[in-house]
Chains A and B, each alone.
Chain A
Amino acid sequence: MHISEGILSAPVLASGMVIAGAGVAVGLKNLDFDKIPRAAVLSAGFFVASLVHVPIGPSSVHLVLNGIIGLILGWAAVPAIAVALVLQAMLFQFGGVTALGVNTVIMAAPAVLCYYFFGFMVRKKPLIALPAAFACGFLSVFFAGVLVGLALYFTEENFLETAAAVVGVHVFVMIIEGIFTVLCVGFLLKVQPELLPGRN
């Protein structure tokens, strides 16, 4: 899901930086002390998840985990994801430093969106909570794909075509991501429901 360096135009990169910066600021304000260990663990998870790759067609995909991170952290997901992306760019040369802002927006914005869409549902009865968790995992990757398409569109390419290609390549990941989020939410509901947002 990372966009490589040297593909996007300067205005897109710059606006990515600005939006990501604002998101990180809001997230840090939201990150009270008891959330820090959680954010660190999830950030580490995100950091490592991108190493497990599945080649599909000419591209390759991996678990993004932004759905579950958004669900647990809310706005604090933005700094958590940003930190992991900085480290990925520095240590693995994924994405690259100039594309950091855009990549942060691509992966963190769906996380926050999913928090608002599904956050209040996951503590309800399993009949509501588990489908909501699946949708959360599924849509977090879907939105990320749409954002990739959008970023490429503003640079030059055809939006619908690119977005469709990116989303198409990631359909498999969306499903896996959805299942994974269901497993996580199911597990947390039993073990530590306080981690999840919303009330019974």
Chain B
Amino acid sequence: MKKILLTLAIFLIAATLAHAHKVSIFAWVEQDTIYTISKFSGGKYVKHGKVSVFDEHENQLLEGTTDDKGEFSFKVPEKTTLKIVLDASAGHGSSWTIPLSEILGENGETPQQALEKAEINPAAQAMETPEASSVSQDQIQQAVEAALDKKLRPVLKMLAEQKEKKPGLVDIFGGIGYILGLAGIGAYFHYRGKIRDLDKS
């Protein structure tokens, strides 16, 4: 009895500690800085995990470690597709790729540059030909997109965080059910052979 209680106690102690296993890294661009956030499944932040940044040819550009909140940010080192790799030690790892278009914005500019240009130019071009006003419409569109990007980023971040779901009860009982089902299949084949033997005799 004592032993059973002790076993239970160990399980309870273990169960109150956080759940974490799969790791994920999420990165987003804000103007010329890239922010990353790294988590274990279940929401624990990866503390002091190593983050390496590679360009499209797998050359390492820089590396750093995550802080207590699993965050790590750096200036865009090079205008190229960036692959950000998290190594949380002991074979736990994950990566996130930022495509070139996200770093450059739509026209090969950072969103901030696009915004500034769009803000200045319409006034200067307001008196010009209709052709010019169509250009400024493009720029207004860019400005709106840049502003939207900026506003949407926190939302994107939240979505990415929520996408990370930890195993639910359904998964757990489903898995146990599968295992019992396999045992059932084993029993079926065993008894099928036995019944056949009985039929013969």
Contact = CB atoms under 8 A, between A and B. Distances in A.
Interface of A: 2-4, 6-7, 31, 33, 36-37, 39-40, 43-44, 47-48, 50-55, 57-60, 62-63, 83-84, 87-88, 91-94, 148, 151-152, 162, 165-166, 169, 176, 179-180, 183, 186-187
A84 B7 CA distance: 22
Contacts of A165: 89-90
Dominant secondary structure of chain A at its interface with chain B: helix
Contacts of B90: 59, 148, 162, 165-166, 169
Given A53-B21, A60-B40, A91-B174, A6 B179 contact: no
B179 A47 contact: yes
B48 interface: yes
Given A51-B167, A51-B172, A59 B183 contact: no
Contacts of A93: 22, 41
A58 B90 CA distance: 9
B159 interface: no
The range of chain B's interface size is: 35 or more
A92 B88 CA distance: 18
Contact of A58 (B7, B14, B48, B186): B48
A22 B141 CA distance: 61
14 contacts: A4-B22, A33-B190, A36-B183, A36-B186, A36-B187, A40-B186, A51-B167, A63-B14, A92-B41, A94-B22, A148-B90, A179-B10, A180-B7, A187-B3
For the complex of A and B, 8 pairs with smallest distance between CB atoms: A40-B183, A3-B91, A91-B171, A60-B20, A87-B175, A36-B186, A92-B167, A33-B190
A176 B94 CA distance: 28
Contacts of B183: 36-37, 39-40
Contacts of A152: 91
B42 interface: yes
A54 B17 contact: yes
A44 B179 contact: yes
A114 B42 CA distance: 32
B93 interface: yes
Given A6-B95, A33-B190, A40-B183, A62 B176 contact: no
Interface in B85-101: 88-95
